[in-house]
């Protein structure tokens, strides 16, 4: 496969970044993951809006105008061979003359676009995901889609070592989100998800799921999610661009509900599945 790096499409084996790149040295950059179905990016403008917001938070000017991003991502779909893909895009503050925490006077951002096949989450969806709760040890700006993902990586690895597919992160008694997903809980027949804030990434999939539920007249609420509420939940779901919507069937070693994907999940997934077609 090929990727777009600093202005051109290159075979992956020839794509090289300087050791002085601030993404490499400091994790000084932001990213997006955009799902593509049948060659069509899902919620492209919302992803580009979030990229713009992330760049704003790290005070890095967007290196490309919106129209150029659209063009480039269309090229990426073509490079990936169309079909179902995940487009990874990353912007770092680029190489600097020397390692210095403060910004270089004139940053030359590094831009990467990397298409890859979208892994089919169908089997995982059918069996249901296993999750564990772990402390949220991340910094306070989780609404920024920063490439600095060490705490997320450690949480996901710990989950994997416990035989789980995802970690749900708990801060001050509240569940913020997963290591790479947002979280939904069904309690008293109402779908609940934490409200947006600095504690979590404003997921594009989360917004879409909420929108689809509301259109279908299903009750849902954005409200803080006490970790204590998880144990008695009727259903738990997680959402992300790459895994779409998944039912959670086990939490910290105990079944969620009757231990099978729930009826509201089936409705939500049908809505999502129909929308992405
Ligand atoms: N992660 N929360 C975190 C911490 C995430 O990393 C992600 C996505 C989400 C879900 O956001 P969205 O629905 O916009 O994908 C929530 C991507 C897929 C990743 O890092 O690979």
User: For 180-239, what is each residue's pLDDT tens digit?
Assistant: 999 999 999 999 999 999 999 999 999 999 999 999 999 999 999 999 999 999 999 999
Identify the CATH number of the domain in which residue 82 sits: 3.30.470.10
Residue-number span of the structural domain to which 75 is assigned: 2-117
Distance CA 274, CA 276 (A): 6
Task: Please tell me the total count of domains within the chain.
Answer: 2
Query: Comparing C-alpha atoms, which of 92, 27, 85, 82 is closest to residue 55?
Result: 92
pTM of the predicted structure, to 2 decimals: 0.97
pLDDT at 120: 95
Protein residue with its CA nearest to atom 1 in ligand 1? 180
Ligand 1 test: best mutation among 194, 241, 243, 245, most atoms within 8 Å of CB?
241
Q: How many other CB atoms sit within 10 Å of the CB of residue 197?
A: 11
196 is catalytic: no
Is the same domain home to 135 and 51? no
pLDDT at 146: 98
Q: What percent of the chain has pLDDT over 70?
A: 100
Q: CA–CA distance from 36 to each of 44, 111, 268 (Å)?
A: 9, 20, 20
Is the same domain home to 128 and 41? no
Domain end among 84, 117, 150: 117
Is ipTM > 0.95 here?
A: yes
Identify the CATH number of the domain in which residue 126 sits: 3.20.10.10
Protein residue with its CA nearest to atom 3 in ligand 1? 180
User: For 103-129, what is each residue's pLDDT tens digit?
Assistant: 999 999 999 999 999 999 999 999 999
Q: Is the pLDDT of residue 249 over 90?
A: yes
User: Which ranges of the chain does DSSP label H, i.e. alpha helix?
Assistant: 22-26, 44-57, 66-79, 122-127, 150-161, 204-215, 263-276
Is the same domain home to 272 and 140? yes
Which of 93, 138, 145, 192 is an active site residue?
A: 145
Distance CA 1, CA 103 (A): 33
Q: What lines the ligand 1 site, CB under 6 Å?
A: 33, 152, 177, 180-182, 201, 203-206, 239-242
pLDDT at 159: 98
Domain end among 48, 83, 117: 117
- Average pLDDT of every residue of the chain: 98
Q: Is the pLDDT of residue 264 over 90?
A: yes
pLDDT at 277: 81
Mean pLDDT of 35-43: 98
Is the same domain home to 144 and 268? yes
Which ligand 1 atom is at minimum distance from the Cα of 206? 13
Is the same domain home to 108 and 232? no
Q: How far is the CA of 205 from the centre of ligand 1 (A)?
A: 9
Query: Comparing C-alpha atoms, which of 6, 256, 239 is closest to residue 111?
Result: 6
Q: How far is the CA of 176 from the centre of ligand 1 (A)?
A: 13
Is the same domain home to 162 and 222? yes
3-class DSSP assignment, residue 251: strand
Mean pLDDT of 89-101: 97
Q: Is the pLDDT of residue 176 over 90?
A: yes
Which ligand 1 atom is at minimum distance from the Cα of 208? 13
pLDDT at 123: 97
Is the same domain home to 97 and 216? no
Query: Comparing C-alpha atoms, which of 102, 184, 170 is closest to residue 136?
Result: 170
3-class DSSP assignment, residue 136: coil
Ligand 1 test: best mutation among 201, 243, 244, 272, most atoms within 8 Å of CB?
201
Is the same domain home to 6 and 78? yes
Q: How far is the CA of 199 from the centre of ligand 1 (A)?
A: 13
Residue 22 backbone class (left: φ over 0; alpha: ψ -120 to 50; beta: rest): alpha
Is the same domain home to 136 and 238? yes
Q: How far is the CA of 11 from the centre of ligand 1 (A)?
A: 27
Sheet containing 110-117: order of strands: 8-11, 2-5, 110-117, 85-92, 29-37, 40-41
Q: How far is the CA of 67 from the centre of ligand 1 (A)?
A: 24
Q: Is the pLDDT of residue 61 over 90?
A: yes
């Amino acid at each position: 496969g090929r990727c777009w790096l600093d202005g051109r499409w290159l075979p992956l084996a020839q794509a090289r970044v300087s050791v002085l790149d601030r993404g490499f040295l400091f994790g000084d950059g932001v990213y997006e993951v955009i799902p593509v179905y049948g060659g069509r990016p899902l919620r492209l403008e919302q992803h580009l809006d979030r990229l713009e917001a992330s760049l704003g938070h790290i005070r890095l000017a967007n290196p490309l105008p919106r129209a150029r991003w659209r063009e480039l991502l269309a090229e990426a779909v073509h490079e990936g061979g169309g079909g179902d893909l995940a487009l990874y895009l990353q912007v770092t503050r680029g190489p600097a003359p020397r390692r210095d925490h403060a910004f270089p006077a004139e940053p030359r951002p590094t831009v990467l676009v990397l298409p890859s096949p979208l892994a089919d989450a169908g089997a995982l969806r059918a069996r249901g995901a296993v999750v564990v709760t772990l402390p949220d040890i991340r910094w306070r700006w989780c609404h920024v889609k920063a490439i600095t993902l060490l705490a997320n990586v450690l949480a996901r690895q710990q989950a994997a070592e416990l035989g789980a597919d995802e970690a749900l992160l708990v801060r001050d008694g509240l569940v913020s989100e997963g290591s790479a997903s947002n979280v939904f809980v069904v309690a008293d027949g109402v779908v609940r998800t934490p409200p947006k804030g600095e504690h979590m990434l404003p997921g594009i999939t989360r917004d879409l799921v909420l929108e689809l539920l509301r259109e279908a007249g299903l009750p849902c609420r954005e409200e803080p999610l006490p970790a204590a509420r998880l144990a008695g939940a009727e259903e738990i779901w997680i959402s992300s661009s790459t895994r779409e919507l998944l039912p959670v069937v086990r939490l910290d070693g105990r079944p969620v509900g009757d231990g099978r994907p729930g009826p509201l999940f089936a409705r939500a997934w049908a809505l999502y599945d129909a929308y992405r077609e």
